[in-house]
Amino acid sequence: MAYLVLARKYRPQNFSELIGQEFVARTLQNSVRTERISHAFLFSGPRGVGKTSAARILAKAVNCLNIKTSNGEPCNSCPVCEEISSGRSLDVIEIDGASNRGIESIRELRETVKYTPANYKYKVYIIDEVHMLTKEAFNALLKTLEEPPSHIIFIFATTEPHNVPITILSRCQRYDFHRIPSNLIAKHLRSILEKENIPFEEEAILTISRHSEGSMRDAETLLDQIIALGEGSLKTEDVQKILGLVQMDSFLFFFNSLLENKKKDCIVFLKKLTEEGRDFTVFFAEFLNFLRGVMIFQNTEDDAKSILDCSEKEAEIYKSAAQRINQNTLLSMMDIISDTYKELKFSPHPSVTAELIALKLAEANKGINIRNLYKEVISLKKGVSSTTTQKTTLSSTEKSLKEEPKDNTPNVEDIINKYKTPSSSESLSEEKKKLQPVTVDENTLKKEWTSFIEELKDTKFNILKIPNSHKIESFNPSTDTIVICVYSKLLAELLNERDNMNLLCNSLSKRFGKKFFIKSYYKVPEQRPNIQPNNMLSNQKSEENNREELYNKAVRIFGGSFLDETNG
């Protein structure tokens, strides 16, 4: 018999074997046990977490001949379960959505769903990567999906549920599969190795589980490859070779060289990585993960091992490194790698960029911390605090500075006074003086209004100075509301804009020390105020007189006489 890869050999065959998807497994099992089975399911989630396996298990469960005695689990021993497990069933149709994505494929599917199952209770259609179907294909599937025949069950699987139309999602029961925790992946890999009688190193299993990124299939595939490399055994060294990783001891050497500012050792170490054919993007990504481990041990020492899923040897390395570095330097190093990683990834000379990153990391241990510097600058901008202790310290500092001999340096006392802020009581009294409200009535307001608009002569409100352009209609002291009647269209348009009105209110409020509200309305004047320039002549004659004068001039020039319009 041909060799069967581990990912296929140890594929889950019932709901209880779905690792890391307990919620989904329990819900599906209860649906089968209580016979509350939907006609359409959507399984979404990352790659290799059990979507297609769950679809096959569900197909077996709904058709299993012994389902009533197996508590919702497929028995895997009846002819139906055996046919579906081996892929020989005519009533369980698996369709690849990527290669059957057109409307013609969906039309064929719509024709086949009319026929009853050949041998089973349900005919099950499993469409993998359903998000790859075209828009037209999805639309053609809508009616069939909404009201399929009673013997049809659709199961869709996708890694991109956001690309599935909402009209499809609303017709399906959706189950979200999550990434599998690394500790569960490591546990499953141990059971596989024990069943296969393959010796292994614990650190190798932990490394594989961390780098599988929550995908059981990726972990099993990688495990198969490493076993082939190790000739029937699983070693940490082989795992690091396959993944292009650097050993933990090498990370510790590079870390110590950075802390001790041994730049030569750092550059020689990077050159060695180049000779070994290592990828610098992978190295610095892993070194960033190493620094993360150090950070975790600094902040959560008791729970750090469980958080990182690391071995005892790795935990000791993290712990010793955490004791050698302060957190500010550690965070600065992590920032440098995060900021320059993209440049390294797309650099035409990765080795040069890697050396630059190493030199920056070495300088981070003795450089100024940018976060602390920023805080210092902000505190200087805010000035010296006004507490009693600081006032006492400040006065003693000023006294000592005055006693020092003068030289050509700037006057330190002036600098201190520049940043010195008044005490809280002084500043509060000044604010009270500024904000002391003034009693204003309508007569006072009208008297002060002229001088107020005089102050606005250099602003956009200089139009208020035009005579008869407006007047104060009323003033309500209880609400401090001023009503202005406006006779000028230009002024009305100016005051109709909210920003202009707010600016005018604020200017008036500053003058009187209290908040005012201004309302305005436009009124057409009964007699237009004389606001035109003096050199313009007013029209003295009526329209009829002007017309008669024109008629007389026409008669003198052209001759003739006027006809009476009333007589025709």
Q: What does the pLDDT read at residue 224?
A: 92
Parallel, antiparallel, or unpaired for β 481-486 and 470-476?
antiparallel
Residues of the chain above pLDDT 70, percent: 79
Q: What does the pLDDT read at residue 33?
A: 93
HEC readout, 197-242:
CCCECHHHHHHHHHHCCCCHHHHHHHHHHHHHHCCCCECHHHHHHH
Q: What does the pLDDT read at residue 378?
A: 64
Q: Tens digits of per-residue pLDDT, 25-75?
A: 999 999 999 999 999 999 999 999 999 999 999 999 999 999 888 889 999
Q: What does the pLDDT read at residue 545?
A: 61
Nearest Cα residue to 42 out of 164, 215, 179: 164
Whether the Cβ atoms of residue 87 and residue 75 lie closer than 8 Å to each other: no
Mean pLDDT across 253-269: 92
Using a 10 angstrom Cβ sphere, with 0-12 exposed, 13-18 middle and 19 or more buried, the burial of residue 317 is buried
Rounded to whole angstroms, how far apart are CA atoms 263 and 267?
Answer: 6
Residues of the chain above pLDDT 90, percent: 43
Parallel, antiparallel, or unpaired for β 173-176 and 40-44?
parallel
Rounded to whole angstroms, how far apart are CA atoms 9 and 7?
Answer: 6
Whether the Cβ atoms of residue 41 and residue 168 lie closer than 8 Å to each other: no
Tokens describing residue 504: 């005018």
Q: What CATH number has the domain spanning 442-522?
A: 3.30.300.180
Give the residue with greater pLDDT, 405 vs 245. Answer: 245
Q: What does the pLDDT read at residue 397?
A: 47
What are the DSSP calls for 235-286, one per residue? -HHHHHHHHT---HHHHHHHHHHHHTT-HHHHHHHHHHHHHTT--HHHHHHH
Rounded to whole angstroms, how far apart are CA atoms 54 and 124?
Answer: 13
pLDDT band with cut points at 50, 70 and 90 for residue 248: confident
| The pLDDT of residue 84 is above 70 | yes
Tokens describing residue 100: 């059957």
Question: Lowest-confidence range among 68-82, 131-145, 495-509?
Answer: 495-509
| The pLDDT of residue 547 is above 80 | no
Rounded to whole angstroms, how far apart are CA atoms 321 and 199?
Answer: 31
Mean pLDDT across 237-251: 86
Mean pLDDT across 305-327: 87
Question: Lowest-confidence range among 196-205, 376-385, 514-523?
Answer: 376-385
Give the residue with greater pLDDT, 366 vs 402. Answer: 366
Percentage helix, strand, coil for the chain under 3-state DSSP, each rounded to 5: 60, 10, 35
Domain 6-176 -> CATH class: alpha beta
Mean pLDDT across 363-372: 63
Mean pLDDT across 5-14: 93
Residue with tokens 């201190």: 416
The rounded mean pLDDT for the chain is 81
| The pLDDT of residue 559 is above 80 | no
What is the helix (H) or strand (E) element at residue 337, kind and residue range? helix 327-345
| The pLDDT of residue 420 is above 60 | no
Q: What does the pLDDT read at residue 421?
A: 39
What are the DSSP calls for 276-324, one per residue? TT--HHHHHHHHHHHHHHHHHHHH-TTTHHHHHT--HHHHHHHHHHHTT
Q: Which residues touch 192 (CB under 8 Å, ≥6 apart)?
A: 6, 10, 220, 223
Return the CATH fold of 244-392: Zinc Finger, Delta Prime; domain 3 (1.20.272)
Q: Which residues touch 48 (CB under 8 Å, ≥6 apart)?
A: 212, 215, 216, 217, 218, 219
pLDDT band with cut points at 50, 70 and 90 for residue 476: confident
| The pLDDT of residue 93 is above 90 | yes
Q: Is the dihedral of CA 259, 265, 267, 269 positive or negative?
A: negative
pLDDT band with cut points at 50, 70 and 90 for residue 330: very high
pLDDT band with cut points at 50, 70 and 90 for residue 486: confident
Radius of gyration, CA atoms only, the chain: 43
| The pLDDT of residue 388 is above 70 | no
Q: What does the pLDDT read at residue 534?
A: 44
Question: Lowest-confidence range among 99-113, 226-240, 358-372, 430-444?
Answer: 430-444
Q: Kindly list the distances between the CA atom of residue 374 and the CA atoms of 225, 330, 380, in Å, as whole numbers in the listed order.
A: 50, 18, 10
Question: Lowest-confidence range among 56-65, 88-97, 272-281, 536-545?
Answer: 536-545
Query: Model-level pTM?
Result: 0.60
Q: What does the pLDDT read at residue 336?
A: 92
pLDDT band with cut points at 50, 70 and 90 for residue 564: low
Domain coordinates in residue numbering, the chain: 6-176, 244-392, 442-522
Strands (E), 147-266: 152-158, 173-176
Q: How many residues does the chain have?
A: 568
Question: Lowest-confidence range among 24-38, 233-247, 507-521?
Answer: 507-521
Q: Tens digits of per-residue pLDDT, 521-543?
A: 777 776 544 444 444 444 444 55
The neighbouring-strand residues paired with 155 are 41, 126
Q: Kindly list the distances between the CA atom of residue 154 and the CA atoms of 58, 130, 160, in Å, as whole numbers in the listed order.
A: 11, 11, 18
Rounded to whole angstroms, how far apart are CA atoms 252 and 322?
Answer: 11
Residue with tokens 């995908």: 215
Rounded to whole angstroms, how far apart are CA atoms 226 and 199?
Answer: 12
Give the residue with greater pLDDT, 239 vs 564. Answer: 239
How is residue 182 annotated by DSSP? H
Q: Which residues touch 370 (CB under 8 Å, ≥6 apart)?
A: 332
Rounded to whole angstroms, how far apart are CA atoms 152 and 133?
Answer: 20
Q: Tens digits of per-residue pLDDT, 142-195?
A: 989 988 999 999 999 999 999 999 999 999 999 999 999 999 999 999 999 999
What number of H helices and E strands is found in the chain?
A: 26, 8
Nearest Cα residue to 321 out of 342, 284, 296: 296
Q: What does the pLDDT read at residue 314?
A: 86
- Max avg pLDDT among 201-210, 383-392, 493-502: 201-210
